[in-house]
Amino acid sequence: MPKKTKRKLVHPTLPMQRQLNLQHEGRYFDLRTIFERLNERHFRGRLRGYNVIWGRRRRHRPKESFIFGTIQEEDRVIRINPRLDQPFVPKWFLEYILYHEMLHSVVPDETGPNGQRRVHTAEFYRREREFPSYRRARRWEEDNLARFLR
């Protein structure tokens, strides 16, 4: 799966970069607005104190896998890949990506037989499929992934 959840330490950044990183308003989509509505509709407003921001733009495109979004639960940051801030991206797809990350904050991780942490559990997938445009979004992802890779 191209979507991955990363829980890594934040690299120290220059003040200027940090400031840019805190932006939720993109050119086409405002992540804050989308987040609030999803939180209301699907999580009963349970997610509190989260920062939902566009990630930094990278100069080079990934070749093999594309990370749409990440969540860092320690400091409550959901970061969305800025390449999704484009007019050809349907709003319901971006909503699905955000929903996926938000779901990580409410569905507990499990530990596998070899002690490895599993974040995409059966329960996680069950709840993910409850998202209204889940099938449409997965199909769109499959059909359009190449546009994000090179």
Q: How far apart are CB 1 and Zn ion at their closest, in Å? A: 8
Q: Which is nearer to Zn ion, 59 or 74 (CB)?
A: 74
User: CA 48, CA 82: separation in Å to the nearest integer?
Assistant: 23
Q: How far apart are CB 70 and Zn ion at their closest, in Å? A: 8
* Residues with Cβ within 8 Å of residue 12, at least 6 apart in sequence: none
Task: List contacts with Zn ion (CB under 5 A).
Answer: 5
Q: Which is nearer to Zn ion, 36 or 109 (CB)?
A: 109
Q: Which is nearer to Zn ion, 20 or 119 (CB)?
A: 119
Q: Give which of 9, 4, 20, 6 is closest to 75, Cα–Cα.
A: 9
* Structural tokens at position 40: 């209301």
Number of residue whose CB is nearest Zn ion: 5
Q: How far apart are CB 42 and Zn ion at their closest, in Å? A: 15
Q: How far apart are CB 3 and Zn ion at their closest, in Å? A: 5
Q: Is 39 helix (H, G, I), strand (E, B) or coil?
A: helix
Q: Are 32 and 52 in contact (CB under 8 A)?
A: yes
Q: Which is nearer to Zn ion, 87 or 108 (CB)?
A: 108
The alpha carbon torsion through 127, 128, 132, 134 (nearest 10 deg) reads -150
